Amino acid sequence: MKLSQLANPRILDQPVYQPGKPIEQVAFEHKLDPKEICKLASNENPWGASPLSIAAGKAALDQVHLYPEGSGEKLRNAISKKLQLDPAQIILGNGSNEIIELLGHIFLDDGDEVIVGEHAFVVYKLMALLMGATPVIVPMPNLVHDLDEMRKAITDKTKLIFLPSPNNPTGTSNSSDEIIRFVESLPEHVVFCMDEAYAEYLENPPDLRPLMRLGKKIVAMRTFSKIHGLAGLRIGYGYGNKDMIELLQKARQPFNANAIAQSCAIAAINDNSWVDQCRNRNLAGLKQMSEGLKLLNLEYIPSQANFLLVKVGNGKEIFDSLQRLGVITRPMPESLKEYVRISIGTEKENTQALHALTQIIASARAS
C-alpha cells in the first residue's frame, strides 16, 4: 500500500507555502559571496530588533532549560497594557500565522466558506483548504480589497472573512471608516478576521476595539515579525473579546510561544522609540525606492507597509535576474505575474536593488 493512500485525500492536493529564499542558498546557487547579497524578500525589518529586545533574549537563554510560561502571562500583560485590553483578551501564537490556523481549527468544518480577496496574503486560502473548507475568492480591482463585493459574497455557509490591511503583497489598505462600516454590516454568523501584520506602519491604524466592546465577532492579529524585527523567533498574537479568545485557546498547543521569543517580545513592545525609528526609516526607504523606480519608469503600487509591488513586465524573469545580481526579491503568483515584490531595506540595500534594476533594464534594451 502506498503511503499516500493512507493520507487524508484532500491533503494530497494541498498547495505548499513558498517562502523567500535564504541568503546562504542564493549564495550557493549563484556562486555569490553571502556578504554581497541583500534579502528584500520577506518584509523583515532591515534594522533588526530593538537592542533592548536582543539583550532580553540573551538573558532569557540562562533559563532555557525551563518550559516557558504556558499562556505567556507576562507578555500578554505587556500587550494588554499597550492596547488597553484585559489580558484574557489576548492569545499568543507561534507567529501570527498560528492564529490564522487556530481560527480554522475552531471555526471550520467541511463545506464551510472562507471569504478572501483575490490578491490577499495567501495563508488564509491555504489554511481554509487544509481544513476542508472552501475559499471564496473575491476580485480586487485596483489591487485593493473590495469590501462591498466581500459583503455580497457572504452566504449561509460563510464562517470567516479575512481582511489584511495593509495587505501583503499589494501594500494597499482600506480606510478605517470603510472597515468599521463593513464590520457593522456583517451578519451574526460570520467572524471577521483582521490581519494587522503591518498596522504599526500606519499613522492611524483602524481601531476595532469599540466594535469588540459592542459584541461584534472579531479577531485581530498582530505580529512581532515585521516592525519589531523578531521574524526568526516566531511570535505573534490575536486579540478579541474574552469569549472569542477563550475559544481559540482550546486549539492552542500547551507551549506554542517559546521562552526566548516571549522575553524578546516584552522588551520589543515596550521600546516605543525603536518602533518609531523603524517607522521613520521605512518611510525614508519607501521614498528612496519610489523615486528611484520613477527614474527607471517603473510603475509600482503605492504602499502603506514596508515593501513595494513593482510592475516589471515579466516578473519571473526579473526576479531571476535580480537574484543573479545578489538581490533576493519575491516572485508573484500567476495573477500578479507582471510584478515582483521588493521589501524596503536599509539605504544601502535599496541602492543595491535600484542599481541591479538599472543594470537589468539597460541590458534588456541593448539586446
Question: In the complex, which residues of this chain contact ligand PLP (CB under 6 A)?
Answer: 43, 95-97, 121, 164, 168, 195, 197, 223, 225-226, 231, 236
All residues at 6 or more sequence positions from 217 whose CB lies less than 8 Å from its CB, including other chains: 186, 188, 190, 191, 192, 244
Residue 161: closest CA among 218, 122, 243: 218
All residues at 6 or more sequence positions from 185 whose CB lies less than 8 Å from its CB, including other chains: 151
Q: CB 214 → ligand PLP: shortest distance, Å?
A: 25
Pick the closer one to ligand PLP by CB: 225 or 321. 225
Q: At 222, give phi and psi (nearest 5°).
A: -135, 165
Pick the closer one to ligand PLP by CB: 174 or 223. 223
CB 35 within 8 A of CB 45: no
Pick the closer one to ligand PLP by CB: 68 or 326. 68
Q: CB 305 → ligand PLP: shortest distance, Å?
A: 8
Q: CB 278 → ligand PLP: shortest distance, Å?
A: 15
- SS3 (DSSP) at 129: helix
Q: CB 156 → ligand PLP: shortest distance, Å?
A: 28
Residue 194: closest CA among 208, 175, 214, 211: 208
Q: CB 195 → ligand PLP: shortest distance, Å?
A: 5
**Which residue's CB atom is positioned nearest to ligand PLP?**
95
C-alpha cell at 344: 524596503
Q: CB 165 → ligand PLP: shortest distance, Å?
A: 9
Pick the closer one to ligand PLP by CB: 121 or 239. 121
Peptide linkage before 166 cis (omega within 30 of 0): yes
- SS3 (DSSP) at 247: helix
C-alpha cell at 328: 533576493
Q: CB 97 → ligand PLP: shortest distance, Å?
A: 3
Pick the closer one to ligand PLP by CB: 44 or 113. 44
Q: At 150, give phi and psi (nearest 5°).
A: -65, -40
Pick the closer one to ligand PLP by CB: 46 or 164. 164
Pick the closer one to ligand PLP by CB: 187 or 232. 232
- Burial letters 262-283, b for 16+ CB under 10 A, else e: bbbbbbbbbbeebbeebeebbe
> Is the backbone of residue 242 left (phi > 0), alpha (psi -120 to 50) or beta?
alpha
Q: CB 241 → ligand PLP: shortest distance, Å?
A: 21
Pick the closer one to ligand PLP by CB: 180 or 231. 231
